[in-house]
């Protein structure tokens, strides 16, 4: 087992030993600062009672920190070239299972059933920038038993996740995160903490999913169809954006009338509405349709 992978020297040695080449298509950036994994583990509140799902373990830097604190770690890695490296770097940890697969093709519910008896898992990841939003949305929308999601993402994406109404970063992603969790940015991470060094800063964001009251699935689908339509053309008023989206069976007048019944002006834009107001509008439109 290679000790202290967060040390740049050890990371370089293991990469050279296996003649590993960074794959641009996988957006690979390995952590080389030990303070960052410590912050991630602390933010996730990992303990011996926890089973952790790690997405994209890379060479196992963060995995080692997780394995020391968790009862069990299930690490899903898409790049088969990293599997032999993980076999070495995680050799001393009997509580780690590595799966060579694409997390976007995995059933999260099945993973929870198979590795944690259907009980809630905690998700931790250092996510590639190119796939951050699809992965986070897949996790949130899966309805699998997930207690929390603690992920490293591009700083501007973290800001969008935590943004509130009336800000430039507020959008469909902000509302999806707010609907499914309580979000908090716990650390900013500069580019020099990675190898290779990215061009932009990163952040660790913690999404607490416990105790969130979700709508029935069909109502939830209608709500987010409305939200996506509202932000599809965010410069337009809400009635014009929804009517012009082609995704919903409402014309401009119907949306404007529903807004007025809720005490909102028909000239309002989607970026001004709170989650509860979108929920009320979706119910009103559904009731009148």
Give the residue extent of every domain in the chain: 8-208, 217-288
Q: Is the pLDDT of residue 287 over 90?
A: no
CATH superfamily of the 8-208 domain:
Vaccinia Virus protein VP39 (3.40.50.150)
- pLDDT digits 0-9 by tens, 38-87: 999 999 999 999 999 999 999 999 999 999 999 999 999 999 999 999 99
Enter the pTM of the model: 0.93
Q: Which CATH class is domain 217-288?
A: mainly alpha
Q: Any long-range contacts for 110-113 (C-beta under 8 Å, 24+ apart)?
A: 111/53, 111/74, 111/76, 111/144, 112/144, 112/145, 112/146
- pLDDT digits 0-9 by tens, 231-273: 998 889 999 999 999 889 999 999 999 999 999 999 999 999 9
What b/e sequence results for 166-192 when a residue is b if at least 16 CB atoms lie within 10 Å of its CB, and e otherwise?
eeebbbbbbbbbbbbbebebebebeee
pLDDT at 2: 60
């Amino acid at each position: 087992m290679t000790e202290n992978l967060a040390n740049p020297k050890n990371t370089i040695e293991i990469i050279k030993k296996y003649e590993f080449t960074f794959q641009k298509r996988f957006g690979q950036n390995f952590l080389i600062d030990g303070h960052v994994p410590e912050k991630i583990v602390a933010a996730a509140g990992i303990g011996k009672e926890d089973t952790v799902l790690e997405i994209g373990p890379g060479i196992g830097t963060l995995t080692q920190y997780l394995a020391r604190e968790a009862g069990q770690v299930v690490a899903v890695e898409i790049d088969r070239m990293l599997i032999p490296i993980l076999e070495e770097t995680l050799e001393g940890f009997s509580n780690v299972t590595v799966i060579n697969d694409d997390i976007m093709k995995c059933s999260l519910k099945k993973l929870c059933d198979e590795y944690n008896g259907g009980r809630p898992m905690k998700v931790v990841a250092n996510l590639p920038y190119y796939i951050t939003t699809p992965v986070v949305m897949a996790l949130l929308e899966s309805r699998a038993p997930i207690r929390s999601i603690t992920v490293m993402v591009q700083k501007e994406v973290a800001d969008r996740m935590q943004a509130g109404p009336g800000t430039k970063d507020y959008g469909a992603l902000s509302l999806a995160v707010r609907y499914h969790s309580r979000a908090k940015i716990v650390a900013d991470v500069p580019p020099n903490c990675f190898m290779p060094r990215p061009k932009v800063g990163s952040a660790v964001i913690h999404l607490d999913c416990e105790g969130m009251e979700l709508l029935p699935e069909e109502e939830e689908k209608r709500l987010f169809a409305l939200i996506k339509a509202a932000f599809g053309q965010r410069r337009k008023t809400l009635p014009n954006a929804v009517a012009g989206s082609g995704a919903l069976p409402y014309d401009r007048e119907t949306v404007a009338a529903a807004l007025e019944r809720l005490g909102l002006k028909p000239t309002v834009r989607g970026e001004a509405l709170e989650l509860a107001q979108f929920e009320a509008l979706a119910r009103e439109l559904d009731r009148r349709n």
